[in-house]
Structure 1
């Protein structure tokens, strides 16, 4: 699956590492409501091009996952700044 790396020069590997790091930083730096979005741009950094269609839970189960995720943020980042900014499309 990663045979392309075997064929890259040192310079190409460095450029690939920089490109991947930038994509990871963009994802890492999501905050607020952006944490909740589907992020296909992150997966597009991989050389194997697929267009995975996620299995989406029904609303009640989906919302349970949102609540669980938010609770995990409270547990893992209890001192993180909080906001009450509303979601605007």
Structure 2
């Protein structure tokens, strides 16, 4: 799958790493309501182009997943500041 890396020069590999790091940093620096969004731009950093259509849970299951995700933030990042901002503010 990653055979393209075998043919890259050192300079090309460095450029690729920098591109991937920029994508990871962009995602890492996401905050607030933006944490919950679909991020196909990250997948676009991969060399293989696929027409990935995600399987989307129905609303009740999706909302339970959102609650679990938010609970995981409390457990994994309890020191993070909290916001009262509504979506779109």
Bin for the TM-score computed over the shorter chain? over 0.9
State TM-score, norm by structure 1: 0.97
SS of the equivalent of 2:82 reads coil
Once the two structures are TM-superposed, the CA of residue 51 in structure 1 deviates from its matched residue by: 1.9
Counterpart residue number, 1:79: 79
Q: CA RMSD in A?
A: 0.9
Which runs of no fewer than 5 residues in structure 2 stay unpaired? none
SS of the equivalent of 2:24 reads helix
Find the aligned partners of 2:79 and 2:11 in 1 and give their Cα distance.
41
SS of the equivalent of 2:41 reads helix
Find the aligned partners of 1:67 and 1:51 in 2 and give their Cα distance.
29
Find the aligned partners of 1:23 and 1:78 in 2 and give their Cα distance.
25
Determine if the alignment matches structure 1 residue 57 to structure 2 residue 57.
Answer: yes
Find the aligned partners of 1:7 and 1:78 in 2 and give their Cα distance.
44
Counterpart residue number, 1:15: 15
State TM-score, norm by structure 2: 0.97
Which runs of no fewer than 5 residues in structure 1 stay unpaired? none
Counterpart residue number, 1:39: 39
